[in-house]
Amino acid sequence: MHFDVFNGDADGIIALLQLRLADPKPSTLITGVKRDIELLQQVDINKATSVTVLDISMEKNHQALTNILNNDVEVFYVDHHRAGTIPKSKQLKAIIDTDANTCTSLLVNQYLADRFVLWAIVAAFGDNMNQAAEQLSAQQGLALNEQAKLKALGTYINYNGYGRSVDDLHFAPAQLFEKLLSYPNPFTLIAEPNSIFSQLEQAYNADMHQASNAEILHDSNVLQIIELENAPWSRRVSGVFGNELANRAPYKAHAVLTLNADNSYLVSLRAPLNNKQGAGDLCVQFETGGGRAAAAGINQLPPEKLGNFIEIVSKYYQE
């Protein structure tokens, strides 16, 4: 039995989409909301014969990965997050690149030699890798209006991955992946009336309109912090709203805080776009934090630690 394990955001879904368009195979899908990243422990090692892992931190899944490899199961692992110590095993094929200007779908695109490059561009835009997406678009000769369509699609797929649970999402990530398999070319999906694209576009615009009225908790020359209420719409926009704020003011870091039911904060941190480093290292200092250099988060930041968060983030980007 083959298992496909992947992040439920645009990058994870589209990385797997490229692979399965190139190499269709029956598999058991394991995924979840974007922040549900300790997914490898859900693999049944007694049934697994092979596993593909995409866009989830190896560091956060190290023990489960080790258990799978020790059971003589072949693993193909592609990711751009913190990896920690990569296990040495003949059963493991790993493509790991933590450079702040790449993402898992771009790594898969290189592996597949541009076979589904339009989807890779969608994913790069969705992961806010705008420069990389634009460069790849130019190489493919895409017009600016075509780039804009792919960027919108990537943004909407990424938006769909954020939530406390799958119940917050418009489409469960596994369901969305299976629907996208019918579209080797993303422009076909975009042009289709009443498609996933148009459904997510309407939902995205409605949620982002509410976010535009959010309270600013902190604003300095290096860091802006926005607070959103404890509601499904705010959990859905926490990541994409952070991306939009980062694009508006690329010289400072941005954090979107969403209230949890226990009054702790769900934190989505974006490094300054002109200094894409440090976000993962900053967030991992808190108990439920993690991520990558350009974008990271904390699942439960106690309110009494907010001042500490502001202090260490501000100090890091001030230097």
The C-alpha R_g of the chain, in whole angstroms, comes to 19
225 plus 133 within the same structural domain? no
Q: Are residues 244 and 155 in the same domain?
A: no
Expressed as residue numbers, the domain containing 106 is 2-201
Across the chain, which has 319 residues, the per-10-residue mean pLDDT values are: 97 98 97 93 97 96 97 97 93 96 97 98 96 97 98 97 94 98 98 95 96 94 96 92 94 96 95 94 94 92 97 93
CA-to-CA distance for 137 and 186, rounded, in angstroms? 13
Phi and psi (nearest 5°) for 121? -65, -45
pTM of the model: 0.89
Is residue 312 assigned to a domain?
Answer: yes
List Cα–Cα distances, 8 to 4, 34, 157, 165, 203, in angstroms. Answer: 12, 5, 9, 11, 18
Of 203, 176, 170, 153, the closest CA to residue 8 belongs to 176
Residues 6 or more apart whose Cβ sits within 8 Å of residue 63: none
* CATH number assigned to the domain comprising residue 32: 3.90.1640
What pLDDT score was predicted for residue 35? 85
Degrees to nearest 5, angle at CA 65 with 61 and 66: 120
Q: Is residue 206 part of a domain?
A: no
206: Cβ–Cβ under 8 A, 6 or more apart, which residues? 233
Query: What would the pLDDT profile of 171-219 be if each residue is shown by its tens digit?
Result: 999 999 999 999 999 999 999 999 999 999 999 999 999 999 999 999 9
Instruction: Decide if 236 is inside a domain.
Output: yes
pLDDT of residue 86: 95
Same domain membership, residue 41 and residue 177: yes
DSSP summary character for residue 49: S
**pLDDT attached to residue 125:** 98
Longest dimension (CA), the chain: 54
Give yes or no: residues 75 and 177 share one domain: yes
Give the pLDDT score at 82.
Answer: 87
Q: Are residues 16 and 98 in the same domain?
A: yes
Q: Cα–Cα distance between 11 and 124 in angstroms, integer? A: 7
Task: Decide if 234 is inside a domain.
Answer: yes
Q: Are 108 and 61 in a shared domain?
A: yes
Strand runs (DSSP E) across the chain, as ranges? 2-6, 28-30, 50-54, 74-79, 92-96, 215-219, 223-228, 253-259, 265-270, 289-291, 295-301
Q: What is the domain count for the chain?
A: 2
Left, alpha or beta for 281 (phi > 0: left; psi -120 to 50: alpha)? alpha
